[in-house]
Structure 1
Amino acid sequence: MTWQCDVQQAWAWSQDASNVLIDVRSIEDRISTGMPKGAIFKHWSDLREDLDSLITAHQKILVICAVGQESLDFCHQLNNPALEGKLYSVEAGFDGWFMEDLPVTHCDATEERQRYDRQMRLKGFGQAGQDKLSASHVLIVGVGGLGVPSLQYLAAAGVGEITIIDDDVVSLSNLPRQVIFESDQIGKPKVTAAKSWVEKQNPGVKVNAINQRLSQLNAPLLLETVDLILDCSDNFQTRLTINQNCMKLSKPWIFAAITDFEFQLSFFDATDIQAPCFCCLFPEVDARQDRQCDTLGVLGTTPGVAGILQANESLKYLLSLTEPLKGKLLIQNLLTHQSKVIKYRARTDCPHHRN
């Protein structure tokens, strides 16, 4: 089965409008060297998803990568006899195209394309996934050891709007864990410092900074306008407030908590009336237990890992990549590297759960 054509043949075929030449190289390569004249760009993920429609619309599909190997592997992986004579890997890739002195055009890539290129290459992501993130609004409750890494990775991924709420100020003891803050920001509101950091790192993300503590008074209005809530607080009273209001407003939220070198993580989906809530998992929780949290020690890497996993669960949910940790509690010890996932169900006797 022949899957290859040489660059001269690819150039000749690409002059016919019934055929299409697709450049799948990285954004860095295309900007530095240009693109074959007449070629269009697609990420591998988009090419896989669009292949059927491309076959319907074109006589021949010519795929060009850097040296011809990735595109050939792609054809071999498909291993579909029906594609013979339709799908071709351009032998020697762009290197061969360049050496044959075939026409090249300048690549104009938007800032968004350049910034998010690597994640947009993932299967199931592409431009559609990036558009989903750009249209998403996430609320992060607490900008501390959990909230900082969550904020960093959600902003870096291009979540379009992030609201952060916290009434605390930066202190010297925060710096080993909350690594976006600097010594000269001690005494400043955390939300102000965090907003400034995001605006420098990714100006395309809108950040709403609220220098308050989440309460029953402000929670309904804040939660109503967002797609997802991250509980990055350090107290049960805030979690109970989040749970109660998410149940009322049918909003999903992600919980994380730290104890010594161990963290817990779970996803509560209040959009699903059958899904368990926070109080189904922790029926004996009492806000009076908050006083115990103040005396605990913590190493910065523990909330750092947990916060990144909160961001990861957020991206999974916003992109509909796979089932989140709904009805499951992840417990992981970073000292022993032991981890387990505990399944739990909605409790019929839970006073907070909608039966």
Structure 2
Amino acid sequence: MQDDLLLRYSRHIMLPQIEYAGQQALTQSHALIIGAGGLGAPVAMYLAAAGVGTLTICDFDQVDMTNLQRQIIHTTAAVGHNKALSAQATIAQLNPEITVNTVLTRMTEQQASERISAADVVIDCSDNFATRYLLNQLCFTTKTPLVSGAAIRFEGQLSVFDFRHAESPCYHCLYPDVGDDQELRCADNGVFAPLVGMIGSAQAAEAIKVLLNIGHTMQGRLLLLDALSAEWRSIKLKKDPACKVCGHSG
């Protein structure tokens, strides 16, 4: 690692849980970020700042004026531009030492599987159940760790499904797919601006812990945040033996 990178990442290297070897591992890691909206914005920015060497950002949507209230990776000048490209441009200013790939179209299942297989961790920053269920299934199949987050109104949640461990539950254990496609969307329900930053930052922290195998991740736990009352709750999440995705594994 060159001197300028040692300086850039010096506050990480000072941490005994990371040190030089851990930072070097981050620079050689690949994170796949699904969604460059409210959650994807802080996830991408913190992973980039932390020195995760390759980020692949997937988003086929365009920046809208209503996004700017919370999607801090985008600027007013980016309105009308693709979100993944806008995120890439911001990250280039934040940390030009890393590689940022973009996916600008909706991926097929095969394409998504290939992207997931190439990544060391997947961060789900999507806003719909169909995508969450698909990512969960593909990550389970490829045994790729999945960091899942959601935020609406004043409420957020976070969990980690690390399929490298047989005892890990999956997203389907938490929310079984019963065919109800009703979604809670920000456009219909609103969202507190700092909430996505709080959950997205926590997702980035969990992703880095997964990549470095340090601390205790949210595997087997669900973190719930009520930003209006400033209350965090952590509840245990167990694997469902009857789960259609992971119930018959291990």
Match of 2:199 in 1: 306
Match of 1:175 in 2: 68
> 2:196 and 2:100 mapped to 1: Cα distance?
22
Q: Give yes or no for contact 1:236–1:285 (8 Å, CA) kept in 2.
A: no
> 1:130 and 1:117 mapped to 2: Cα distance?
9
Q: 1:215 to 1:299 in 2, by over 3 A?
A: farther
Listed as ranges, the matches of 1:236-247 within 5 Å are 236-247=129-140
Q: Give yes or no for contact 2:241–2:247 (8 Å, CA) kept in 1.
A: no
Q: 1:285 to 1:118 in 2, by over 3 A?
A: farther
Q: 1:350 corresponds to which letter in structure 2?
A: C
Bigger RCO (CA 8 Å, 6+ sep): 2
Match of 1:67 in 2: none
Q: 1:214 deviation in Å?
A: 4.2
Q: 1:259 deviation in Å?
A: 2.5
> 1:351 and 1:248 mapped to 2: Cα distance?
13
Q: Secondary structure in 2 aligned to 1:289?
A: coil
Match of 1:269 in 2: 162
Unaligned runs of 5+ in 2: none
Q: Give yes or no for contact 1:215–1:241 (8 Å, CA) kept in 2.
A: no
Match of 1:339 in 2: 232
Identity %: 37
> 1:330 and 1:122 mapped to 2: Cα distance?
25
> 1:122 and 1:314 mapped to 2: Cα distance?
17
Listed as ranges, the matches of 1:5-154 within 5 Å are 110-154=3-47
Q: Secondary structure in 1 aligned to 2:147?
A: strand
1:321 paired to 2:219 = no
> 1:212 and 1:305 mapped to 2: Cα distance?
28
> 2:155 and 2:125 mapped to 1: Cα distance?
15
> 1:286 and 1:148 mapped to 2: Cα distance?
30
> 2:33 and 2:247 mapped to 1: Cα distance?
25
Q: Secondary structure in 1 aligned to 2:69?
A: coil
> 2:87 and 2:178 mapped to 1: Cα distance?
30
Unaligned runs of 5+ in 1: 1-108
Q: 1:162 to 1:308 in 2, by over 3 A?
A: same
CA RMSD, 1 decimal: 1.4
Q: 1:286 deviation in Å?
A: 4.0
Counting matched residue pairs gives 246
Match of 2:94 in 1: 201
> 2:172 and 2:128 mapped to 1: Cα distance?
14
> 1:287 and 1:164 mapped to 2: Cα distance?
28
Q: 1:317 deviation in Å?
A: 1.3
Q: 1:287 deviation in Å?
A: 5.6
Q: TM-score, normalised by structure 1?
A: 0.67
Q: 1:315 corresponds to which letter in structure 2?
A: I
Q: 1:318 deviation in Å?
A: 1.1
1:166 paired to 2:51 = no
Q: 2:161 corresponds to which letter in structure 1?
A: F
Q: Answer with 223-232 or 272-281: which moved more.
A: 272-281
Match of 1:82 in 2: none
Q: 1:128 to 1:229 in 2, by over 3 A?
A: same
Which of these residues, 128, 142, 145, is aligned with residue 252 of structure 1? Answer: 145
Structure number with greater Rg is 1
Q: 2:203 corresponds to which letter in structure 1?
A: Q
Q: Give yes or no for contact 1:141–1:231 (8 Å, CA) kept in 2.
A: yes
Q: 2:246 corresponds to which letter in structure 1?
A: H
Q: Give yes or no for contact 1:236–1:286 (8 Å, CA) kept in 2.
A: no
